[in-house]
Structure 1
Amino acid sequence: MNLVAMAASLAIPSAWTIEAESPAAQVTFRHGTIDIDSPKGLTLWWRRPVAAPVTIAFEAMAVAKGGANDRVSDLNAFWMATQADGGSVLTHPRSGAFAAYDDLRTYYVGIGGNRNATTRFRRYVGEPGNRPLLPEHDLSAPADLLRPNVWTRIRLIADGRTVAVERDGRRLFTLADDQPYRRGHWGLRTTWSHLRIRRVTVTQR
């Protein structure tokens, strides 16, 4: 097992590309923690591409301490993301608005989306306006949503045909993909929220 990146090297500004819908969005890096405070859509791409089999892990907190964007919503991520033609997402900067990412080929998870009402997994197919959602990948039970001011551990897995999302040791989603996405970029995603991210690791085997 080759540990490609540890938290110390990931939690620095030069490791990331920011796409923010609002100039008021703030992303700060301090003491190994990434703080994302945004009134609109924002995607934070790790600059280094990854290849399967890979596991991306991090701890996240939805901050609710009275700030303007502390609404507890949208702990989201893309992984194995490419342009529809297979090119790098970093060669085509986007506005940060959610719809701007519809044309990617990628896996996506949204934990606590729609104002902390849904948790969903999608396999984007590179077609604008088309974000397929299977019924079993649309959750809304309280245990599947965000809790304010509590750290939660997320694992994003692309292991060849098996694609999965785990949270605090529990499997949220599993997809047996006959045509898996095997390489690309991964990024953290949110909208109108305040998140903190720490202990990020990317492990390739």
Structure 2
Amino acid sequence: MPTTRRAFGALAAGAALAALAPTATAHAATRRRSLIAHDDFCHGLGQWATELQGGGTVTASRGTLEIDVPSGATVWFRQRLEGPYLLEYTAIPVSEGGVNDRVSDLNNFWNATDVRSPHDLFATPRGGALDEYDHLTTYYAGYGANHNTTTRLRRYVGEPGVRPLVFDYTEPLLVPGEPNRVRIVSDGSTVQWWNNGRLVFDHTDPQPYTSGHFAFRTVWSHFRISGFRVWRLTPKQP
């Protein structure tokens, strides 16, 4: 059984282990749903906004969003999303000898709002460095971050230098060349991040962020991403 990297007390530790345990249910996939957004990555970056700390390339063609960057990079989906929804994509960390082929940092922001321009995320310029996102209220998953040694969930509160940690694991981590089939559930107080059918983060937020923007985030890495879909979930049955 995986262990947390920090002590959160018996209750938090138990919740962390439960989040990583296999599940027999199909979670949000069992709910009726309708497609509200998608990108087949065949027609460029019209639906995306990129923020690059130190250059690199972000392209969308032939069914693949390719992020190949030497430092921090955030790729925002321009459409604001409202919950409840299920978001899914597949990401492959590239390890083929390229200068940026460091297997690390399959990260996401979701339900993000910038407190400096709460009605328009893109009205405030950002340059891709991580501390520039401290003004967000958002969830942030870092899967295989810190040179592929940590997997964490944070809940940003819009204050510089404050990035509250919800879960902190030593595994699961990225495997070079292997697909990561990610699902993010935003369903009221339920906040989940799945990978290849495994529930990695399962958080019940008493003051949830229920709408905002989604982004791919990475640092000094190379990813190929496909199958981006967002589904509206029907309300839960009483």
- Specify the TM-score bucket, using the shorter chain as the normaliser: over 0.9
2:152 is equivalent to residue 124 of structure 1: no
2:45 is equivalent to residue 3 of structure 1: no
| Change over 3 Å in CA distance of 1:11–1:189 after alignment to 2 | farther
Q: How does 1:129-148 map to 2 (within 5 A)?
A: 129-134=161-166, 137-141=167-171, 144-148=172-176
Alignment match, 2:127: 95
What amino acid does structure 1 have at the position aligned with 2:148?
A: N
Alignment match, 2:147: 115
Deviation, 1:87, is 2.9
2:183 is equivalent to residue 155 of structure 1: yes
Alignment match, 2:236: none
Deviates more, 1:193-202 or 1:83-92: 83-92
Alignment match, 1:170: 198
Question: Which residues of structure 1 form unaligned runs of 5+?
Answer: none
2:59 is equivalent to residue 28 of structure 1: yes
Local SS of the residue matching 1:122: strand
CA contact (8 A) 1:120 1:138 kept: yes
Distance 1:172 1:84 in 2: 28
Distance 1:79 1:87 in 2: 16
Local SS of the residue matching 1:70: coil
User: Which of the numbers 74, 81, 91 marks the counterpart of 1:50?
Assistant: 81
CA contact (8 A) 2:88 2:182 kept: yes
Distance 1:95 1:6 in 2: 26
Deviation, 1:202, is 0.9
Structure 1 segments, 4+ long, off by >3 Å, are 9-12
Q: Deviations over 1:144-165 (max 9, x none)?
A: 1000011110111110110011
Alignment match, 2:138: 106
What amino acid does structure 2 have at the position aligned with 1:138?
A: D
Q: Deviations over 1:29-70 (max 9, x none)?
A: 121110000001000000100001011110001100000010
Distance 1:72 1:196 in 2: 12
What amino acid does structure 2 have at the position aligned with 1:40?
A: S
2:220 is equivalent to residue 189 of structure 1: no
Local SS of the residue matching 2:146: helix
Distance 2:129 2:69 in 1: 12
2:114 is equivalent to residue 83 of structure 1: yes
Question: How many residues get paired?
Answer: 200
Distance 2:73 2:42 in 1: 18
Distance 2:185 2:92 in 1: 20
CA contact (8 A) 1:11 1:198 kept: no
Distance 1:161 1:8 in 2: 30
Distance 1:10 1:102 in 2: 33
CA contact (8 A) 1:42 1:97 kept: yes
CA contact (8 A) 2:40 2:226 kept: no
Q: Looking at both structures, which has the greater relative contact order when contacts are Cα pairs under 8 Å and sequence separation is at least 6?
A: 1
Distance 2:119 2:154 in 1: 20
